[in-house]
Structure 1
């Protein structure tokens, strides 16, 4: 069984669930999960977790994401993208300076109302199911963070605007385009979307399903799977002493005395924890990655956060 995370380039026309279903057939294993949906017509990075890697699906879902999109000004649709029904068209008079001014309003935190055509559930039913029935329900605004919003290009027609967006989890780029259009007074809808990055996963390293299939035939697919612990490389690594492997395997709290002196500095642990970053990669005495632990300053012990054995 494969364990880890593989960086898939999701092609247009596939849902995230389609990708998982096809990978199950290609890799001949059932334990596979994706890290957050991407619209069927959108393309780009979709990290897929394999085997024990499925335990980090939720962690990857929380990662920041980077997108490149084309926003079409002067049109409003029911889905907030160009696959939907056109509700209104308007003349576009905004120039680059006006667009930049409006984009600045959306940089940083803002409260975004999720679209009706989304997979969010209300009273057990997905919003897009209600939308297809012609129903509209009230949705609560969610606080999101736009870390970066760059205007890349305005096409000569003055209607198609290319942007790069670095955002927090839960951000709907369709809705961002819609909201920008509202602020400009002409309306807007998303025409194209490419996800270029999810955490450490970059589009330049992403593989199509056909490429994964070729790697399986060539027996090289292992080289394309990122190890689970590589996702936490910014956290220091510690190794338990041989006699304390059982404590680690059972997920018990660990003390400084359980760790090899060469792999641990008490001063470093406390200084990192004070800065709010007291997480550690924990390996057994043989160097096998086993868990993520958090240093508990109050008890001066390491507490198990997530096990991978």
Structure 2
């Protein structure tokens, strides 16, 4: 049984669902059939590329944590036009003759760093009265998108070209829409803008150094060893300290029992028996309680 992470460098034009389907297809072709659970840790639009964490087996229990993790994006904005989708897929709805300078672009970034309010794009996967916003938009239904609170931890100008526009890098919290951020930066500069490139370069603990191409994934489907593309389950927990468990303690944790007398500070830990992750545990007042257990007894099958 396979447990762990395949980190795809998702190409342009491929949706997240299609990317996950490609992983499932290659697992079937490699002889795993349908017995491996597969999930992903963060949607990427077809017009976006980059890091898409795909969880297998017991790692699917961590996809919620991956969805909540901060992410880093590179994105390019061409000034002078705004589309209804805020990217190249949409139709132009506003134009401006104003073209900012690099110095002006740098100067406004402080306004968009830290906790901010932003209005999500109408063409987004947010649900409004049970319907996806992009479905309502495509049907011609006008809906007022409500402002939401997000955090931009860091925002910097990477490159600037008077003709092509600006390229930024942003480290953002869960729920941040980069297309909205680009729209608002352009408007703060007295113009309008459209995202021409969007690339996720980090999601949680995973960056491009962990990522494989679709070609590499397809090699696995044709017989290459799974070990060449699969990261262990605990790779998704690099931001959580480990706690060592004795075989007796590990057995108790697997049964959901509370451990007492643990000499550690309060907090979230990953409990290990040797090299095998047993569970995410919460330690409070020297007591350990299971948050999420992992059934890795079949890891060698």
Normalised by the size of structure 1, how large is the TM-score?
0.88
- Alignment partners' CA distance in 1, 2:255 and 2:171: 39
Indicate if the aligned counterparts of 2:205 and 2:239 stay in contact, CA closer than 8 A: no
Deviation, structure 1 residue 97 = 2.0
Query: How big is the alpha-carbon RMSD for the aligned residues of Structure 1 and Structure 2?
Result: 1.7
Q: Give 1:55's aligned residue.
A: 61
Runs of 4+ in 1 over 6 A off after TM superposition: none
Q: Give 1:217's aligned residue.
A: 222
Deviations 1:27-51 (A, max 9, x none): 1245111111111011111010011
Instruction: Map 1:65-80 onto structure 2 (within 5 A).
Output: 65-80=71-86
Report the 3-state secondary structure (helix = DSSP H, G, I; strand = E; otherwise coil) of the residue aligned with 2:98.
coil
Instruction: Map 1:236-255 onto structure 2 (within 5 A).
Output: 236-255=241-260
Q: Which of 175, 181, 197 does residue 180 from structure 2 map onto?
A: 175
Q: Give 1:305's aligned residue.
A: 291
1:230 equivalent in alignment to 2:216: no
Deviation, structure 1 residue 215 = 3.1
How many residues align? The count is 289
Indicate if the aligned counterparts of 2:62 and 2:236 stay in contact, CA closer than 8 A: no
Q: Which of 192, 202, 212 does residue 207 from structure 1 map onto?
A: 212
Deviations 1:267-307 (A, max 9, x none): xx23xx3xxxx1221124x653110111112xx31111111
Distance 1:247 1:75, change over 3 A: same
Instruction: Map 1:86-101 onto structure 2 (within 5 A).
Output: 86-101=92-107
Q: Give 2:299's aligned residue.
A: none
Indicate if the aligned counterparts of 1:23 and 1:209 stay in contact, CA closer than 8 A: no
Instruction: Map 1:1-309 onto structure 2 (within 5 A).
Output: 1-28=1-28, 29=34, 30-157=36-163, 159-256=164-261, 266=263, 269-270=264-265, 273=266, 278-284=267-273, 287-297=275-285, 300-309=286-295
Gaps of 5+ in 1: 257-263
Report the 3-state secondary structure (helix = DSSP H, G, I; strand = E; otherwise coil) of the residue aligned with 1:226.
coil
Distance 1:99 1:55, change over 3 A: same
- Alignment partners' CA distance in 1, 2:125 and 2:198: 17
Deviation, structure 1 residue 190 = 0.6
**Range moving further from structure 2, 224-233 or 54-63:** 224-233
Indicate if the aligned counterparts of 1:212 and 1:221 stay in contact, CA closer than 8 A: no
Q: Tell me which protein shows more helix as a share of its residues.
A: 1
- Alignment partners' CA distance in 2, 1:82 and 1:234: 36
Indicate if the aligned counterparts of 2:250 and 2:278 stay in contact, CA closer than 8 A: no
Indicate if the aligned counterparts of 2:282 and 2:290 stay in contact, CA closer than 8 A: yes
Deviation, structure 1 residue 195 = 0.9
Deviations 1:201-248 (A, max 9, x none): 112331122211213434322232121123324433333333444321
Deviations 1:6-34 (A, max 9, x none): 11010111100000111111012451111
Gaps of 5+ in 2: 29-33, 296-301
- Alignment partners' CA distance in 2, 1:93 and 1:283: 56
